[in-house]
Amino acid sequence: MRILAIESSCDETAASVVENGKKILSNIVASQIDVHAEFGGVVPELAARHHLEAIGPVVRKALTEANVTLNEINLITATQGPGLMGALLCGFCFAKSLSFSTGIDFVAADHLEGHLLSPILMDPAPTFPYVALLASGGHTAIYWVTAPTEFEKMGQTLDDAVGEAYDKVSKAMGMGYPGGKMIDDLAHEGDASKINFPRTYLDKDKFNFSFSGIKTAVSRYLEMCSSIEAEKANICAGFQKAIIDVLVHKLLHAAKVKDCSTICVVGGVAANKGLRETLEKEKREMELFIPPLSLCGDNAAMIAVSAYWRYQRGERTFLAADTYSQQRHG
């Protein structure tokens, strides 16, 4: 069964062809980073306009690279939400129109479900159940995933998402957008013990997060700093260590509470080298799955997995269906 999937929830226009919910035949991502970089964040209206320009060529490229025609596609899907409304509508309406004009079945997919199921595309892949830390620019949460269509949210951020904190700290330091990778790279040149930023655990036995405090702490530090340039690497290292300490503690504790030995990290922040290294060291006998970089950031292959399992359990989506901006899980 071949699925053509489209993802356009934020600033990446993506299309992918996936076979049997597992084998990636193509995975095309057209990033808009250059468009938004000068504004230090995603400008929703610009994102929508650029999706409109990119969507046709990106879908065509996904089919060409997969070496299939539309006749060989059995199901069309697109991200229904959560995300930016204008951006979502471009991909979602394109997919619905394609389904209408070709008669191919359509089922809507959920962006967070896609991230949570992205480890299924790995080889070897985790078996269910697993505990997953979902960390991206828009969301930070821990989920208990018992089956491809069953997700229990154990906790989530009460304010900023972790990727958002990275992006805002990067902006405050004049390092540009998106900040995650830049801070991650520079952190490896700094000494994390030089600056002790606060770790916000909230209730240490529970799974909610808060990242607005550390963002403010870094801003205050920058205001008092005589030379940001000289301390930049240490600030990045201190900031990153404080974030990683909290993420790792909560993920490992969640696995303990669920008595589960399989853990996954998904979403854009799963690309973080410091987080990967720390978890490798601290996971002990647990099995750790973090998808390759191409499947951490927004992509359409993970959307195909969400759709595959929804389709398997009999879901179909009416062409009158609309997009949604806020998360529906939990």
298 binds Zn ion (CB under 5 A): yes
- Residue 238 interacting entry, from Zn ion, ligand KG4, none, C-beta within 5 to 8 Å by type: none
Selected from 298, 306, 308, 310, the binder of ligand KG4 by CB under 6 A is: 298
**Which residue in 8, 26, 136, 306 binds Zn ion (CB under 5 A)?**
136
Is-cis flag, bond preceding 292, omega within 30? Answer: no
Q: Does 21 bind ligand KG4 (CB under 6 A)?
A: no
Instruction: Tell the smallest beta-carbon distance from residue 249 to ligand KG4 (Å).
Output: 17
Q: Which helix (H) or strand (E) holds 257?
A: helix 228-257
> By CB under 6 A, is residue 10 in contact with ligand KG4?
yes
Of 114, 155, 180, 190, the residue at the interface with ligand KG4 (CB under 6 A) is 180
Q: Examine residue 138 and tell whether it contacts ligand KG4 (CB under 6 A).
A: yes
Between residues 42 and 98, which has the closer beta carbon with respect to ligand KG4? 42
Give 262's strand partners.
Answer: 287
136 scored as a contact of ligand KG4 (CB under 6 A): yes
Q: Strand, coil or helix: what is 73?
A: coil
Q: Tell me if 269 contacts ligand KG4 by CB under 6 A.
A: yes
Nearest distance in Å: CB 133, ligand KG4: 12
Closest CA to 17 of 29, 9, 25: 25
* Contact criterion met (CB below 8 Å) for 298 and 139: no
Interface with ligand KG4 includes 309 (CB under 6 A)? no
Closest CA to 44 of 90, 85, 14, 100: 85
From the CB of 128, what's the least distance to ligand KG4, in Å?
22
CB of 298 to Zn ion, least distance (A): 4
Q: Which is nearer to ligand KG4, 1 or 292 (CB)?
A: 292
Name which of residues 183 to 222 contact ligand KG4 (CB under 6 A).
184
Out of 272, 306, 317, 323, the only residue in the binding site for ligand KG4 (CB under 6 A) is 272
Which of these ranges, 28-36, 135-143, 179-187, 306-314, lies near Zn ion under the rule CB under 5 A? Answer: 135-143
Q: Which two tokens stand for residue 207?
A: 């799974």
Compute the distance between CA of residue 288 and CA of residue 295 in angstroms, rounded to an integer. 16
Provide the b/e sequence for 88-122 (b: ≥16 CB within 10 Å).
bbbbbbbbbebbeeeebbbbbbbbbbbbbbbbbbe
Give dist(CA 90, CA 13) in Å, integer. 9
CA distance 94 to 90: 6
- Listed residue (122, 116, 73) closest to 309, CA to CA: 116
* Contacts with Zn ion, 245-284, as mask; x by CB under 5 A: ----------------------------------------
Give the list of residues 6+ apart from residue 52 with CB closer than 8 angstroms, or none.
Answer: 90
What the block records as the tokens of 242 is 């404080």
Is residue 294 within 8 A of residue 86, CB to CB? The reply is no
Residue whose CB is less far from ligand KG4, 163 or 260: 163
Residues lying near ligand KG4 in the complex (CB under 6 A)? 10, 136-138, 163, 166-167, 178-181, 184, 267-269, 271-272, 297-298
